[in-house]
Chains A and B, each alone.
Chain A
Amino acid sequence: MPGPLADRGASGIGHPHSAAEAAQAAARDFPPLSLKVDRISVMYPNGQRALNDASFSLSAGTVCGLVGANGSGKSTLFKSVMGFVNPVSGTVRINGRPVREALKQQLVAYVPQAEEVDWQFPVNVTDVVMMGRYGAMNFLRISRAADHAAVEASLRRVGMWDFRGRQIGELSGGQKKRVFLARALAQGGRVILLDEPFTGVDVQTEEAIITLLRQLADDGCIILVSTHNLGSVPEFCDRAVLLNKTVLASGPVEEVFTEPNLTKAFGGVLRQFHFEHSTIQNHDGRQVRVLTDDERPLVFGKDGHLEYKDRTGREDLVKIRSEEQD
């Protein structure tokens, strides 16, 4: 049962006149994009097996949430998709080709975890975003007008153009994230990997990043986001991959985010709030407001199905749920 989110990515590639033209334009601008992780196992040199027989696949126009406890292999999976670690068995293919070829075409862009970056390095915001263009430049990496235009466009898109001269350490956590996102945009990456982009980011910036990711997916990108913030996944992801050394479940968020699956992925470590065990009375009706500090709450309804924050855009779902009543 594909939910309303599942096929969002199909739209949004311009407005050509005929289907044939549309197909042509799509083929020219966005060659068919796919990411296929096929039964990979990853072993670190110290003998630590970080991933075991993990498989899933994604196609163009998808935002996919990668969810798992600490040490479940999320970063390792990213490293495999970027070709930084070689699986001992299994393959990762982008557009049906090995990762190395996709990297040569600058198809893969990565937004690193904040801890991985040397924030005292003497580069400013423009320098960092320009690094996204190196692959497209000549041997000497001398920037041309097109590179400067791409840098400016990306910085404006993430709202960081006014900060272009700042040394990167002199930005807030959310601003730093946006700079690296701009670098991925400037690079023109089609498979964009974000490792925990929402840690240390305020709600407003989170919304802005999410909007941007949705737009990129609508442009035909594949976005893979690892996050600890379970509640945000149903709000902005089409699909989810649940990880715990292996892929426990993957598919549309509604199918993956079930209580049994999440319990399997996180063991007993998730905090829970059961209404029937709580002090909330029947006469309170639906007049309960949920506030959390940084994370969005993940709310399951009576039959264990996901509840969303916003009705708008999910009219179909509301209808289905109201019919269930009767």
Chain B
Amino acid sequence: MDTLLVPFHYDYMLRAILVSALIGGVCGLLSAFITLKGWSLMGDALSHAVVPGVAIAYLIGLPFALGAFVTGLLAAVAIAWVKTGSRIREDASIGIVFTSFFALGLLLISLNPARVNLNSIIFGNILGISVPDIKQLVVISVVTVAVTVLKWRDLMLFCFDPGQARTLGIRTGLLHGLLFTLLAATTVAALQTVGALLVVAMLITPGATAYLLTDRFGVMLWLSSALGAVTALAGAYASYFLNGATGGCIVTLQTLVFVVAFLFAPKHGVLAASRKAKRLARMEGETAL
């Protein structure tokens, strides 16, 4: 019994578990919007594009969130520019831009190995997170949650039917910017927890899982945040015993939950679908007779 409580005796572990849960919850919350809006690729791009910003911020001693935010924004502008300014498709333009930002980040880090730790950016370093960094994360999380709780209906309408939002006189440009800003901020926050490579999982998997489990957006929002928070908490906790990377544990756990939902979800699971197909086939067979 006591061994189960051991992680909580270490300050660094307790901190890691709580911060992971917070970030997991916030990412989960946003993932409901990101998956439905079709911005999953964008999340992946952002998580790589912020790397040079983080590196520069550490080099010149600015808050890492600020640097990350600026390069994230630059990347988004670059993606839009490449897409509209040429005949290159969106996925290709996203690919071109985020890999070049990522390469620039790697270059900067490799030139200054003493000042910035490559591993902690790529794979996250939640166990060694500093107090100022935690403060940044808490601010980002509180703002994101507050904005989402206040404006989730507008954001839902924006994801579902931007045309309707516009005919109601709602400024969709603002909502677009808002959702993108929240996404960028959350990406930065998650970078610390699971690292640049796995951020996108935190921003997609909980939303995708919740989507299989409900037909109401409000429920999906709660479910994906709860899934994000619980899996991040449990993953970080388990990483102590497995002695493995925190990010790896969290994302693996999220994937396991997703697979369970994918197979067994009452209405949208694979098994439910095939059961329904069989029943339909049987009914049709009977009416044909």
**Which A residues lie at the B interface, using CB under 8 A?**
45, 82-84, 100, 103-106, 108-110, 112, 116-118, 121-124, 127, 131-132, 134-135, 139-141, 167, 183, 187, 189
Which residues of A sit under 8 angstroms from B164, Cβ to Cβ? 110, 112, 131-132, 183
B154 pairs with A83, CB closer than 8 A: no
Pick from B163, B217, B219: contact of A110, CB under 8 Å: B163
Would you give the shortest CB distance from B214 to chain A, in whole angstroms? 6
**Pairs of residues from A and B, 5 with the lowest C-beta to C-beta distance, nearest first:** A135-B168, A141-B153, A104-B169, A103-B169, A167-B215
Residues of A within 8 A of B157 (CB): 131, 134
B262 at the interface (CB under 8 A from A): no
The reply to whether the CB of B36 lies closer than 8 angstroms to some CB of chain A is yes
Are A45 and B84 interface neighbours, CB within 8 A?
yes
Would B170 and A134 count as touching, CB distance under 8 A? yes
Given the interface contacts A122-B216, A134-B153, does A84 sit within 8 Å of B166 by beta carbon? Answer: yes
Give the bracket for the number of chain B residues in contact with chain A: 20 to 34
Asked if B220 is an interface residue, CB under 8 A from chain A, the answer is: yes
Per-residue contact bits, chain B 15-35, to A (CB 8 Å; 1 contact, 0 not): 000000000000000000000
A100 to B214, CA, bound (A): 36
Interface residues of B in 60-91 (CB under 8 A from A): 84
Scan B164-182; emit 1 where CB is below 8 A from any A CB, else 0.
1111111000000000000
User: Are A121 and B36 within 8 A (Cβ)?
Assistant: yes
Extra inter-chain contacts (17) besides given A84-B163, A100-B169, CB under 8 Å = A84-B166, A103-B167, A103-B169, A104-B169, A110-B163, A112-B163, A116-B163, A118-B160, A121-B36, A121-B217, A122-B211, A122-B215, A127-B216, A127-B217, A131-B160, A134-B153, A135-B169
A45, A108, A116, A141: which contacts B167 (Cβ < 8 A)?
A108
Interface centre among B156, B159, B161, B168 (most CB of A within 10 A): B168
- Taking A112-B163, A117-B161 as contacts, is the C-beta distance between A106 and B217 under 8 angstroms? no
Specify the chain A residue showing the minimal Cβ separation from B210: A122
The B contact surface, by secondary structure, is: helix
A123 touches B216 (CB 8 A): yes
Q: Which residues of B contact A135 (CB under 8 A)?
A: 168-170
Whether the pair B168, A123 counts as a contact (CB closer than 8 A) is no
In the assembled complex, the Cα of A105 lies from the Cα of B165 at a distance in Å of 13
Q: Could you tell me the distance in whole angstroms from the C-beta of B207 to the nearest C-beta in chain A? A: 11
B150 adjacent to chain A (CB < 8 Å): yes
Q: Find residues 182-215 in chain B having any chain A CB closer than 8 Å to their own CB.
A: 211, 214-215
CA distance A166 to B160 in the complex (A): 16
- Complex-state Cα separation, A189 to B161, whole angstroms: 17
CA distance A192 to B157 in the complex (A): 19
Cβ-defined contact, B166 with A103, below 8 A: yes
Return B80 CB to nearest CB of chain A, in Å.
Answer: 12
A-chain residues with CB within 8 Å of residue B215 when the two chains form the complex: 122-124, 167
B165: A residues at CB distance < 8 A: 134
Give 13 pairs: A residue, B residue, CB < 8 Å, sorted on A. Answer: A83-B166, A106-B167, A112-B161, A121-B159, A122-B211, A123-B156, A123-B215, A123-B217, A127-B217, A131-B160, A140-B150, A140-B153, A141-B153
Which residue of chain B is the closest to A187 with respect to CB atoms? B168
- A110 / chain B contacts, CB cutoff of 8 Å: 163-164, 167
Measured in the bound complex, the distance between the Cα atoms of B155 and A122 in whole Å is 14
Chain A residues with CB below 8 A from B214, complex form: 122
How far does the alpha carbon of A189 sit from the alpha carbon of B163 in the complex, in Å?
A: 14
Q: Given the complex of chains A and B, what is the CA–CA distance between A163 and B37 in angstroms?
A: 26
One of A103, A121, A122 near B168 (C-beta < 8 A): A103
Q: CB-CB < 8 A to A139: which residues of B?
A: 150
Cα distance A257–B84 in the bound complex, in angstroms? 41
CA distance A124 to B160 in the complex (A): 12
> What CA separation (Å) do A117 and B164 show in the bound complex?
11
When A45-B84, A140-B150 are in contact, do A123 and B169 touch as well, CB less than 8 Å? no
In the bound complex, CA of A186 to CA of B156 (Å)? 18
Question: Quick one: closest B residue to A135, CB to CB?
Answer: B168
Task: Report B-chain residues with C-beta under 8 Å of the C-beta of A167.
Answer: 215
Given contacts A84-B163, A117-B161, A123-B217, A141 and B169 within 8 Å (CB-CB): no
Closest to A165 in B: B215
B202-261 at interface with A (beta carbon < 8 Å)? 211, 214-217, 219-220
Q: Which residues of A contact B169 (CB under 8 A)?
A: 100, 103-106, 135
Residues of chain A contacted by B220 (CB below 8 angstroms): 122
Residues of the B chain whose Cβ atoms lie less than 8 Å from the Cβ of A104: 169
Interface hits, B24-58 → A, CB 8 Å = 36
Interchain CA distance A167-B217 in the complex, whole Å: 11
Query: Once bound together, how far apart are the Cα atoms of A141 and B159, in whole Å?
Result: 16
